[in-house]
Amino acid sequence: MPFMGVSYVIISLIVILFHVRLVPAMFGQIFADAFDFKAIFGGVAGSCMILGKVAIDTLKDYESQKKTGKKPVFLGKNIGLKEEELEYWK
């Protein structure tokens, strides 16, 4: 059994037990901070950046297929998506 992992869990539990009265306030602060405007805006902005990259790559692939005279077909592997990522887009 890994010594460092077990000792980390034991020490963490000891710290939590010594501060058990602060645990409800901790969860309250986590939820309050997770659902404020800045956190939600940051999540939306990050998602837009990730999806925007996929959209731009798809547009570039479409344009390159159109220039070569092919009928454009979307294939995720053409824009660098991995096999497990393709399941999301089906």
Asked if residue 85 lies in contact with residue 76, where contact means CB atoms within 8 angstroms, the answer is: yes
For 59-77, what is the mean pLDDT? 81
Domain boundaries, the chain: 1-35, 37-90
Burial of 81 (0-12, 13-18, 19+ CB in 10 A): middle
Q: What is the pTM of this model?
A: 0.46
For 52-74, what is the mean pLDDT? 83
For 50-70, what is the mean pLDDT? 83
